[in-house]
Structure 1
């Protein structure tokens, strides 16, 4: 162990005594051109938000047709229940009670599923998505 300490100290002394042969290039003299630009966020998505998951409350779920949705899961906590669904192409969405969907809204979310109220020609119809038995936990 003493030989390792002595060897390490010897390496440090040798490195400290070396003189640089050539000064490091300053940023102005860098041989690699650097392009400077800024990100303008206006009208664009947040680059730090995950792709493929649309959050409710952003107006992004109002186009969803409930007949094309599959219920993936339900989460619950102090703030109530939220539903995790995916559309026909596999894109995921998060739903909360009161969120607007095509032709209606999310009426209720409980441990077994999501209930929608869809209005068509003045008639309100309830549509339910339930967890499959093997998916329920």
Structure 2
């Protein structure tokens, strides 16, 4: 029985000591570090409540079960994003520390050996949008003219409608003669005299009636012709000069 009475008395003394000797907020200090602005709060309190207020921007930190014994109730800063730091007895058993800000800032609170630290790490981006960069396109102050030689090819600036009728204007090589060849590794041209007597200057890839020029050799010209779904190779040799 006496044992329980003693234990109850000890528990009562602990409760009484907690009421008689509350925790104390002793000091508030502000300093700049390479991490950001640090507000140091010296206290033996073990817990806190924080609230972010937007209008005007400020951070409110309450320490329940404490008494305020700071020397200065207000520290004017006026640098970085911090206007001032205020500390005081908000109500019985609650010490309040307020950080007045120029604008909403990111922060974090961490426990230290002597109390707590509030680290302001910069502006808080709220609802920011990337500005669209306006691009101005200026009209060129010069004009350039390009030329294109069809050389009996289809004119690329003419409509495709009616292109089939141009087939009749192409040289007919089935009864043609090779009257000359200009040949080098870089340039290859063939002079073809068609059945109508007209002479055409052709190079590899040029179109002829019903086909194209496939290859120009030193002494002959090879054509690929298409007719009724069949492919035919026609080789014309250069016309030799008649000996007297």
User: TM-score of the superposition, structure 1-length normalised?
Assistant: 0.51
Contact 1:56 1:94 in 2 (8 A): no
Question: Counterpart in 1 of 2:183?
Answer: 76
Question: Counterpart in 1 of 2:208?
Answer: 101
Give distance in 2, aligned partners of 1:130 and 1:67: 12
Task: State the SS of the aligned residue for 2:153.
Answer: coil
Higher strand share: 2
Give distance in 2, aligned partners of 1:87 and 1:131: 13
Q: Please tell me the root mean square deviation across aligned C-alpha atoms, in Å.
A: 2.5
**Is 1:113–2:220 an aligned residue pair?**
yes
Question: Deviation digits for residues 88-124 of structure 1, max 9, x if unmatched?
Answer: 3422110000001111100000101110000112211
Question: Deviation digits for residues 59-82 of structure 1, max 9, x if unmatched?
Answer: 289521111321101002352311
Q: Gaps spanning 5+ residues in structure 1: where? A: 1-54
Give distance in 2, aligned partners of 1:80 and 1:96: 9
Give distance in 1, aligned partners of 2:210 and 2:226: 6
Question: Counterpart in 2 of 1:124?
Answer: 231
2:199 pairs with one of 83, 88, 92: 92
Q: Gaps spanning 5+ residues in structure 2: where? A: 1-148, 155-165
Higher helix share: 1
Q: Which has the higher Rg, Structure 1 or Structure 2?
A: 2
Quick one: higher RCO (CA 8 Å, sep 6+), 1 or 2? 1
Pairs aligned (count): 81
Deviation at 1:56, TM superposition (A): 6.6
